[in-house]
Structure 1
């Protein structure tokens, strides 16, 4: 064969071989389904804080004198009545003090009788002009001094007598022993807290407000309380007490919430949740799962209703709620955002919008 025909033939064979090796192009992947929602009105969003049911009054109980504890008569959680003994101190020292005071009273009474008799004798001698007026005045002043001394000793005896009674710690009111902070045999000082008593009567909820939420609350602000034992049932309440200083360890602000209704089936120690409105300035809210962030900047994936493609949209948010987060800026009520799986999405990606039941959604229509 002629060489001039071999070159074109070789080129043609090589082209056919390369064409046979090329793989056919795969068809483009269909748009992935993504659950989308529209922002909710602010009225549906609220902040919630965990709390604990406590007594309205919780006095701390302590001995009025120091000593060694010899008996503990109640345990934590036990219900007590007014004036019921709770603990006792070793009474030996206070009894000795009482005996000493009693002896001093007897001595002062005898001294007063002697001073009285001395004054009366000088009075008779003065009437007979057998002693001078100054001698009588000295005897009279001795009587007055003995009388004042007796009053002083009797007051000290009353104090010692009261201290003897202080050796027994008694409940000031009906209630439940909430805590104990001592053991038998321990030497305690006067005023050292031994028990805390949850007084019968009003109940309220103790909560702790974080620093970022503190400024939105005030005393008397209406809120709602839901008891853990009664889900779905909310009771009207208000903030009764709000600490102006943060706790040194938790950096939260303690607050007390009082019920507005008279009878609430709330028991001591029950868990509760306090709900508060997020405020009028918070126009919209989205699910927590719709929110993502990069370098500390929060954003959501907003869906273009015409092309069903994604656009990263920065937002400014408020305080997190239990299931929702308020969006202060960046979204409108007519927008659609992806509510799940946001960590695997990318800018410009096309999706197939579905609702929570995996049903297709027409983005042009409002949900």
Structure 2
């Protein structure tokens, strides 16, 4: 009887560990698959939700270049009236807010001294005129005597000299009269223009000094815009350019025409002063009011209009976050013009149908799907 073979025992001993190892690997593989499938499903299903206010549709068209400025409303005709002599105001005939005409008497000054000087000057003039007439009569008489041979030629020539001297005295006295008359007229102050009194700094009985301001007058029928622009924007300053503006406290959009430009820039501020004539009637109460507006260029720029604040890194390499084919994309753009007054930029580089995002994303969000709700309530629901 032969002994049983031992090989069968050896095969059984090595088969059992291999079977256990295979089972363990299969379990680990199944576990890994179960863990990765939900993560992958969650990653593929993750969608960024936005509302309609978060995006802006790209608009294509022509845009007119505008240059912003600030200024004030002023009267074209205005006058500051000063006293020319030192005297006492005997009568004041104008009040603040009163409309006056050119040549109307505003103040009468009690300048009796000037009146007395005028009377004296006129008396001196009359006296010298009488002496001149007497000298002329004597000269003519001596001319006849010279012709008859009764006097010498020297005597006649002396009479001519006396007459010329008297004529010069007349001219000198006439100049004194003119000076006295002006001083007397300075006692009556007239309005140099037609307008409205805006300031009054004199009262009856008050003594005023020569050079003291008594009244301020403006003509409210002729107003204009006075403003300044930095010298580096001087290309926008062309006479005849259209201007759009608003007056402080008045929401109405008004227009004007650029009428005058200073030929030089201010040495201190490096700004150029310009003036514009309003096209609409302006209330006189707007004189001195603050004005904010734009000089509208006659040339237009074609491009895509988007909000200025949606542009990222505008100083170096401008780009925007946009929604294209329902995915987030970063798009490099070229900025043609910036308008800070209405938060608008004219750019190129976008496509029709792009939606520019007001929300700033990170590079990790690129190519993620996006859903856009109509309202915030729909997005939250």
Residues 65 and 300, structure 2, Cα contact 8 Å, conserved in 1: no
Deviation for aligned residue 1:283: 3.2
How far the C-alpha of 1:75 sits from its partner, in A, is 6.0
Shift of residue 82, structure 1, vs aligned partner: 2.0
Helix, strand or coil: the match of 1:43? strand
Could you say which residue in structure 1 is the equivalent of 2:262?
243
Q: Is residue 68–residue 90 contact of structure 1 (8 Å, CA) maintained in 2?
A: no
Cα contact 2:71–2:292 (8 A) shared by 1: yes
Q: Give the alignment of 1:206-217 within 5 angstroms.
A: 206-217=226-237
Q: 1:58 to 1:265 in 2, by over 3 A?
A: closer
Match of 2:272 among 249, 253, 259: 253
Residue among 358, 362, 367 paired with 1:346 = 362
**Structure with bigger gyration radius:** 2
Cα drift, residue 298 of structure 1:
7.2
Shift, 1:210, TM fit: 3.7
What secondary structure, in the 3-state scheme, does the structure 2 residue paired with 1:286 have? Answer: strand
Name the CA distance, whole Å, in 2 between partners of 1:143 and 1:115: 5
Q: Does 1:31 align with 2:51?
A: no
SS in 2 for 1:241: strand
Residues 354 and 250 of structure 1: is their aligned pair in 2 closer, same or farther, counting only changes over 3 Å?
farther
Partner of residue 189, structure 2:
169
Q: TM-score, normalised by structure 1?
A: 0.68
Q: How far apart are 1:85 and its partner, in Å?
A: 3.6
Matches of 1:84 and 1:355, distance apart in 2: 72
Secondary structure (helix, strand or coil) at the match of 2:300 reads: coil
SS of equivalent to 1:83: coil
**Which consecutive residues of structure 2, in runs of 5 or more, have no partner in the other structure?**
1-37
Secondary structure of the 1:281 match is: strand
Q: How does 1:258-277 map onto structure 2 within 5 Å?
A: 258-260=277-279, 264-267=281-284, 268-269=286-287, 273-277=292-296
Residue 245 of structure 1: how far off its partner (Å): 2.6
Provide closer, same or farther for how the CA distance between residues 178 and 243 of structure 1 changes in structure 2, counting only shifts above 3 A: farther
Question: 1:78-102: per-residue Cα shift (whole Å, max 9, x none)?
Answer: 4322223445667366446534533
Distance in 2 between residues matched to 1:77 and 1:212, nearest whole Å: 41
- Whether contact under 8 Å (1:176, 1:200) holds in the other structure is yes
Which of 193, 199, 221 matches 2:219?
Answer: 199
Structure 2 residue 162 is the aligned partner of structure 1 residue 142: yes
Q: CA deviation at 1:255?
A: 2.2
Counterpart pick for 1:106 among 121, 126, 132: 126
In the TM superposition, 1:1-367 aligns within 5 A as 30-31=47-48, 33=50, 34-39=54-59, 41-43=61-63, 46-55=66-75, 57-63=76-82, 66-68=84-86, 70-71=88-89, 74=94, 77-86=97-106, 91=111, 94-95=114-115, 97-123=117-143, 125-178=145-198, 187-189=209-211, 197-225=217-245, 231=251, 234-235=254-255, 237-248=256-267, 251-260=270-279, 264-267=281-284, 268-269=286-287, 273-278=292-297, 279-281=299-301, 283-293=303-313, 296-297=315-316, 299-306=318-325, 308-311=327-330, 313=332, 315-327=334-346, 330-332=348-350, 334=352, 336=354, 338=356, 340-342=358-360, 345-349=361-365, 350=368, 352=370, 354=372
* Partner-residue secondary structure (3-state), 1:309: strand
Q: CA RMSD in A?
A: 4.5
Q: Which sits farther off after the overlay, 167-176 or 311-320?
A: 311-320
- After superposition, the Cα gap between the structure-2 partners of 1:289 and 1:167, relative to the gap in structure 1 and judged at 3 Å, is farther
SS at match of 1:130: coil
Higher helix share: 2
Paired position in structure 2 for 1:15: none
| Aligned-pair CA distance for 1:305 | 0.6
Q: Structure 2: how far apart are the matches of 1:118 and 1:356?
A: 115
- Secondary structure (helix, strand or coil) at the match of 1:244 reads coil
- Cα deviation, 1:276-310, whole Å, max 9, x if unaligned, reads 4353236344324324547x447342315136324
Q: Secondary structure at the match of 1:280?
A: strand
Give the unaligned 5+ runs of structure 1: 1-23, 361-367
Aligned residues: 330
1:325/1:204 Cα in 2 relative to 1: closer, same or farther (>3 Å)? Answer: same
The SS at the match of 1:283 is: strand
Counterpart-to-counterpart distance in 1, 2:373 and 2:59: 14
Q: Is the 8 A contact 1:181 1:195 kept in 2?
A: yes
**What is the CA-CA distance between 1:41 and the residue it aligns to?**
3.0
Q: Is the alpha carbon distance of 1:148 and 1:196 closer, same or farther for their aligned partners in structure 2, counting shifts above 3 Å? A: same
Deviations 1:55-82 (A, max 9, x none): 3x3243344x744475576566543222
